[in-house]
Amino acid sequence: MTAPPDDRAQLIDAITRQVMASLSATDGFASGQCATCSGGCAARCAPKVAEVVAGGATRVSYSGEAGNVPADLARYIDHTLLKPDATAADIDKLCAEAVQFHFASVCINPAWVARAAANLRGTGIPVASVIGFPFGATTAEIKAHEARVAVRAGAREIDMVINIGALKSGMHDVVRDDIGRVSDACHESGALNKVIIETALLTDREKVIVCQLAKQAKADFVKTSTGYASGGATVFDVALMREAVGPKMGVKASGGIRTRNDVEEMIAAGATRIGASAGVKIVTGEGGSSGRY
């Protein structure tokens, strides 16, 4: 039974307060509970990252000594190419790099799914594709159809963009239905649904709300960004999203992630997947140039 609007609003406020209170806790540092830490708390003590960002940090340094940040980062990275002018040769190269470095997936526009799936057949590396990208402003019916077409072409993961305007208008049922239809389209064929919430355009309260809606709509991941808005992933947003969805649901950080240090910080904050176009430079330690996604 659906809760009345007033009850839903009260529930959302309660969830938001709970999440933000968790992210604002700083007693651990004040009491010296993290006395062995020498500045890499996001890495050494991943649960403490929220306390760091609550103090005003927008980036958290990594000391390289954390047991819970893996040495092999490639398995976290969706090797991504979403430029509108990407060519067939570019897609072939992306797939070859994914095989060489054992990335988690390749993430591409729908028109290239069949080609990428053929390139990656037998490698164990799945194809991910984007739906309603990059604005999320098409209808739920179109998004669900687009997802089914991509899955039939060979995609095993779908990264959909929410209806951002509906969320900001308080139309939560519309947003939940939008996500749920794509989740259904994915799950009927065993594919995953990752929900891009576009954090740069949302308030903290809206981020918590949409994470809860995505969870209710049976999405598999929540994801920070398309890379085409005014900002990308931040440590704070990843920590907030992790708190909002709990320990079991996936959290993907994407947008502006260009170095190994970026990836380590996001994983320490709670990310279980990373979207990056600089994947090769990240895993080879070459850094990365500025660019979208």
- Considering the candidates 159, 178, 220, 262, report the single residue annotated as catalytic: 159
223 is catalytic: yes
Q: How far is CA 225 from CA 74, 164, 229, 254, 289, in A?
A: 20, 12, 8, 6, 18
Query: Domain 74-284 belongs to what topology?
Result: TIM Barrel (3.20.20)
Q: Considering the entire predicted model, what is its pTM?
A: 0.80
- Considering the candidates 143, 207, 215, 223, report the single residue annotated as catalytic: 223
Sequence-distant (6+) residues with CB within 8 A of 14 are none
Task: Return per-residue pLDDT of the chain as tens, 293 residues.
Answer: 455 656 656 666 666 666 666 555 433 323 334 444 433 344 334 445 455 455 444 444 433 333 356 778 999 999 999 999 999 999 999 999 999 999 999 999 999 999 999 999 999 999 999 999 999 999 999 999 999 999 999 999 999 999 999 999 999 999 999 999 999 999 999 999 999 999 999 999 999 999 999 999 999 999 999 999 999 999 999 999 999 999 999 999 999 999 999 999 999 999 999 999 999 999 998 754 434 44
Which two structure tokens, joined as six digits, stand for 2? 């659906």
252 is catalytic: yes
178 is catalytic: no
Domain boundaries, the chain: 5-54, 74-284
